[in-house]
Amino acid sequence: MASPFRKSVAAALCIALIGAFTFFKSSDTSATPADEKPAAPADAGTGFVMEPYLQFATRTSITVMCETPTPSTCELEYGTTFPPDKIAKVEKADTLHEIKLENLVPKTKYFYRMVCTDADGKKLIGKPSTFYTAIDVADAYSFTVIGDTQRNPVITAKVAKLMWERRPNFVLHMGDVVDNGADKKQWTDDLFKSCQDLFARVPVYPCIGNHEKNHSNYYKYFSLPKPEYYYSFKYGNAEFFSLDTNKPVDPESEQYKWLDKSLAASDAKWKVCYHHHPCYSSDSDDYGNTEKVNSTYGAIKHKHLIALYEKHNVDLAMNGHIHLYERTHALRASKVDSKTGVTYVTSGGGGGGLESFEPTPSFFKNQGRVDFHYCYFAVHGGTMDCKVFDSNDRMFDQFTLKKD
């Protein structure tokens, strides 16, 4: 048992320690009293409806867009140093802003910042960001592919973050960018907010899906060459052709005739076509309930495109719509042809509810997986290398296309 003396010493020590703690606690100037919150910034509760994002980069131009909550005029600061030393202005007050920068230097890093001012003089200042102009034909480059983001912002944000970490030159989107094209919040929140870090620095080239419902929002929020629902662009040694497979693509259609002529005129080393619906698919129920009937392996109305792809030696045809990943063998005349065939890739794993494969193997299926995912392509000269990653960034497929 402790003596009375030891008890009194222990008590004195406790009192001293408590006093010291109280002194130092009260002397901590970094502490904020509970009833004193930091002052709110002047623009608290306001901001861009859509933060600045990039569209359609060429070797000498790029478009920057944003949306403000009230009609505003905008100044886009840009240049090869920071702070940017050039300004492009939009004098007309509006809420949706689109500024095309021209006469840029090819394969060059630029800094940019959007500053918008409303009628009351209130400013919205975008985050400083960067873009990179398109490269020369002989240069290496990379791009990522995502499809069917629809309405799953958690997965979409996760996949977009992983794509951005790989620093692609641009992004292809296989359509169904939202679940309901008429719902503005799905554009502002589900798509653009989820992809903000990616889209602020990397331009996205979409094709339109069925869930957009051909709504004006698609044409409003993407800046694409006319007629917009189909278009092409060149990047490095490749040319990319985007189609709208919600509209006719039969031999008498406008798109078919345009594609036939455009592919014939292309001098690009790599020819890549992409659209929402597949030419070949092993899906379990979109093309017949495969538990009871045989699959048509894709809609007949979209198979018209196969003849064009084979005629013009297209290297790669990509699509979404089916919410999984599938890669075919190289195909020609409905047979596997590893030398002259076209490779078809379904990439519909950006967020839409996952689907499944039919119970028996199709003749064309090379690889497949039911999972959220994205594709990463690296291209240089006659080598196009693709790696496919799930939403935890684990690679589950890889293939390489080569040509002289």
Note the pLDDT tens digit of each residue in 376-388.
Answer: 999 999 999 999 9
Q: Does one domain contain both 382 and 241?
A: yes
Q: Does one domain contain both 224 and 306?
A: yes
Q: How many CB atoms lie within 10 A of CB 303?
A: 17
Residue 1 resides in a domain: no
CATH code where residue 62 lies: 2.60.40.10
Q: Are strands 141-146 and 331-332 parallel, antiparallel or unpaired?
A: unpaired
Lowest mean pLDDT among 38-47, 135-144, 270-279: 38-47
Residue 15 has pLDDT above 60, yes or no: no
CATH code where residue 248 lies: 3.60.21.10
Residue 29 has pLDDT above 70, yes or no: no
Residue 226 resides in a domain: yes
Q: Does one domain contain both 155 and 74?
A: no
Residue 157 resides in a domain: yes
Q: Does one domain contain both 118 and 173?
A: no
**Mean pLDDT calculated for residue range 128-139:** 98
Confidence of residue 152 (pLDDT cuts 50, 70, 90): very high
Number of domains the chain is built from: 2
Q: Does one domain contain both 128 and 206?
A: no
Q: Does one domain contain both 332 and 377?
A: yes
Q: How many CB atoms lie within 10 A of CB 16?
A: 10
List pLDDT tens digits, range 180-212: 999 999 999 999 999 999 999 999 999 999 999
Q: Does one domain contain both 360 and 381?
A: yes
Confidence of residue 248 (pLDDT cuts 50, 70, 90): very high
What one-letter code names the amino acid at 392?
N
Q: Does one domain contain both 244 and 358?
A: yes
pLDDT of residue 46: 47
pLDDT of residue 5: 37
Q: Does one domain contain both 111 and 191?
A: no
Residue 110 resides in a domain: yes
Of 81, 105, 132, the domain-final residue: 132
Confidence of residue 373 (pLDDT cuts 50, 70, 90): very high
Q: Does one domain contain both 261 and 391?
A: yes
pLDDT of residue 14: 41
Question: Measured in whole angstroms, how far is the alpha carbon of residue 332 from the centre of its chain?
Answer: 30
Lowest mean pLDDT among 31-40, 179-188, 268-277: 31-40
Tell me the C-alpha distance between 214 and 210, whole Å. Answer: 7
Q: Which of the listed ranges 3-7, 36-40, 88-92, 310-314 does the model predict with the highest average pLDDT?
A: 310-314
Q: Does one domain contain both 372 and 276?
A: yes
Of 112, 132, 152, the domain-final residue: 132
Residue 182 resides in a domain: yes
pLDDT mean across residues, the chain: 90
Question: Measured in whole angstroms, how far is the alpha carbon of residue 331 from the centre of its chain?
Answer: 28
Q: Does one domain contain both 72 and 155?
A: no
Residue 260 resides in a domain: yes
List pLDDT tens digits, range 293-303: 999 999 999 99
Residue 21 resides in a domain: no
Quick one: 338 exposed, middle or buried, by C-beta within 10 A (0-12, 13-18, 19+)? exposed
Which residue range is the domain that position 120 belongs to?
50-132
Which whole-number Å values give the CA distances from 25 to 14, 15, 30, 38, in the listed order? 16, 15, 10, 20
Residue 14 resides in a domain: no
The 8 Å CB, 24+ separation contacts for 213-219 are: 213/180, 213/181, 213/182, 214/181, 214/246, 215/181, 215/182, 217/178, 217/181, 217/182, 217/184, 217/187, 218/177, 218/181
pLDDT of residue 91: 87
